[in-house]
A and B are shown apart, each in its own frame.
Chain A
């Protein structure tokens, strides 16, 4: 369940680049200032990446992937697929480090008054990695490829209401919808909404991203080289990126410690402190909106009783969860999703209350407690640990949690069927999140939640283009989930990555995609000390 954000000009970065271009003057001036003030120049110490330099190959390691790895960014599934998607392709919009939606291949994407028609104005200077210019025909073909009913891609789930994509002129595209959607731009900004040429062939992939394919061995490694036709102001510093698949964390960390890789994506929270204490390494700690909920099916016993769901939410010690499961690298949750949405409401924080939980359970007909089975699997770092901590906390209220731990394949086989299980979601705003996982017709409605009031509010919000009015509707919808929903959202996990100190340009990124949202065009390899 992945989310948006590829790479485009970064204001701070563009600024920095200009500074570098005027290198002699800038450096001279900086050292003069430093001499005057007696202060060190930030980033110019002997240890560390220093100022951006051109060239080199960045070796990036990550766990995951295999023979089914893909070069088609529109069907990206694992971390390697994501890294390839973000660096080889672009979407019309993207999420920046602060999770704000920013223009990328489009200069603007705007709705009409009732949000049934959206118009995208494209940049006129974009070229594909084979040198051909991008036009609206390519955009139309790309979207049609994604929603192709015979072979739908990842993004199709968010575009079920799209009736037509029309090229108005060479650089204008219209999206016509069968029902209002005030958040279509969010769907179009997912990184899997890749814009590719009309005659796209995934075996010889051509995109508009900062890098293009040099070589690819599924499950082993991918080499991407700088795209000479890249349209962005933030041309990559690196000559190439090597993406390396690992099958377990130990080998990954060993590769980092023996300097065989320059950066690794997604490390277990428990290892962060150890790696950070090594002077050669840095930890990239990004606060994100990623959550690992417990999902209670609201249509089967015992969770079809609102009081049982409330009781389960009240047994959770959220601070302890964040401390033990995430080693403190996270923030506590309040049973509502989309913490980065501007409309995320500030309701009273729910805290552990065993007495109240017991009372609710007794009222629901379980005075002597109850036994439930919790389906879990290592679907994301921390899920199995969370299951164990939850089982301990729930025991205090007389709830016996039997943990049914499965391997990944077995787990996904019956995903959506378990009465009580776990899931994970990356950072999303409220409407896209509700569309994907909380509405009766959502493809991933894990809690089988069909609350009439909630549905009504979400439908209204979808058609509301006025931001303030929409925020009010979202807050009301969140209130229904906070009161009677089926999700236990105990916290939001930080994204933790590790890299060698000589790597520069990695910034915390809220999307939940590792290593600055994999925007590796911003990265450089500094002096190796």
Chain B
């Protein structure tokens, strides 16, 4: 039962990815302007444009280029970048690592912090700390990431306390994590934007569970409060929260684009912006597919957690 549910989710995910790839591929083709012209800028001469067209297979019909590309995907070939004539995989390989690093660092901080603050806030329902936390979470959740980013840069890098680097800079051949201070602000922005949702969801579900009959029953039976929360309340609250965390993680895969732009962070987002400017279809599609895949995988995991945490499914599909 559970396995069948998961298998179905998996099949849907693959279908979604294929649809996404088609949509992205053809939408990128609809962008006005020609890639060769974009790369050569004002210096373009007809001879050089013709040469670039030839290199990029731009003379083939679009559907044929799509099928060629899709076929390549199955053997791990992402195609050739129009801007650099290099394989796309090599071009974005390092950037995938840098972006994932940023997202994972933010997730490692915001998930436990969000859960703990949410629980703490729920347990102190109605008191000043609870009201303060709810208020702050509400304000932060309402702010777009670039507002948070610009405020943090002004506060900690340029104007008020110039103590942290404002942008990411590393000499060629080094990795972003070789310069930890440069990571503080980008990670902090993601954390500040993601955590409030987790806090609010955790607090809400926790309150619901605390008010439920079985928690009351456990308390009446004289189970110690600590045990009530850990064994009875928390497991029931974690399912819905996993969904919110998944949405937040998936959001990060897209929101990271803005953060990378703001902090000159050498990740997928920056590569995507550049590729769109160059009409570099292969790179745009590859990056969008990676972001879409992150979305799908994270949602799949949340579904699985939801399925596993659902007591009804457990009892029905017992064996």
B263 touches A223 (CB 8 A): no
A258 touches B278 (CB 8 A): no
Q: Which of A218, A246, A248 sits near B84, CB closer than 8 Å?
A: A218
* Given A217-B172, A412-B38; A251-B274 close (CB under 8 Å): no
- Inter-chain CA distance A412–B261, complex, in Å, is 24
**How many B residues touch A, CB cutoff 8 Å?**
50
Instruction: Give, as a whole number of angstroms, the nearest-CB distance from A222 to chain B.
Output: 8
B266 touches A260 (CB 8 A): no
- Inter-chain CA distance A59–B264, complex, in Å, is 15
Instruction: Give chain A residues whose Cβ lies under 8 Å from the Cβ of B48.
Output: 151-152
Q: Which of B33, B51, B170, B262 sits near A409, CB closer than 8 Å?
A: B33
Interface residue? A67 (CB, 8 A): yes
Instruction: Give chain A residues whose Cβ lies under 8 Å from the Cβ of B31.
Output: 409-410
Q: Which of A151, A154, A251 sits near B262, CB closer than 8 Å?
A: A251
A258 touches B33 (CB 8 A): no
Instruction: Give chain B residues whose Cβ lies under 8 Å from the Cβ of A261.
Output: 169
Instruction: Give chain A residues whose Cβ lies under 8 Å from the Cβ of B170.
Output: 221
Instruction: Give, as a whole number of angstroms, the nearest-CB distance from B91 to chain A.
Output: 7
Instruction: Give chain B residues whose Cβ lies under 8 Å from the Cβ of A78.
Output: 41
Interface residue? B165 (CB, 8 A): yes
Q: Which of B43, B83, B164 sits near A67, CB closer than 8 Å?
A: B83
* Given A248-B261, A409-B279; A215-B41 close (CB under 8 Å): no
Chain A interface residue number, banded: 35 or more
- Inter-chain CA distance A504–B283, complex, in Å, is 41
* Nearest-neighbor residue (CB-CB) of B279 within chain A: A409
A413 touches B262 (CB 8 A): no
Q: Which of B33, B159, B270, B280 sits near A413, CB closer than 8 Å?
A: B33
* Given A258-B158, A412-B42; A246-B167 close (CB under 8 Å): yes
Instruction: Give chain B residues whose Cβ lies under 8 Å from the Cβ of A413.
Output: 32-34, 37
Q: Across the A-B interface, how many residue pairs have beta carbons closer than 8 Å? A: 132
* Given A246-B264, A257-B159; A409-B277 close (CB under 8 Å): yes
B167 touches A260 (CB 8 A): yes
- Inter-chain CA distance A167–B83, complex, in Å, is 37
Task: Give me the interface of B with A, judged by CB distance under 8 Å.
Answer: 31-34, 37-45, 47-48, 51, 81, 83-84, 91, 150, 153, 157-159, 162, 164-167, 169-173, 261-264, 266, 270-271, 273-275, 277-280, 283
**A–B Cβ pairs within 8 angstroms, 17 of them:** A59-B169, A67-B83, A67-B271, A68-B84, A149-B47, A150-B47, A151-B47, A215-B173, A246-B264, A247-B264, A247-B270, A254-B157, A255-B166, A258-B158, A258-B164, A409-B278, A412-B44
Task: Give me the interface of A with B, judged by CB distance under 8 Å.
Answer: 1, 59, 66-68, 75, 77-78, 149-152, 154, 157, 215-223, 242, 244, 246-248, 250-251, 254-255, 257-261, 379, 406-413, 415, 443-444
Extra contacts besides A248-B261, A412-B38, A413-B33 (16): CB < 8 Å? A67-B283, A68-B278, A77-B40, A77-B41, A77-B42, A151-B51, A215-B171, A220-B266, A223-B172, A255-B166, A261-B169, A408-B41, A409-B32, A409-B38, A409-B277, A413-B32
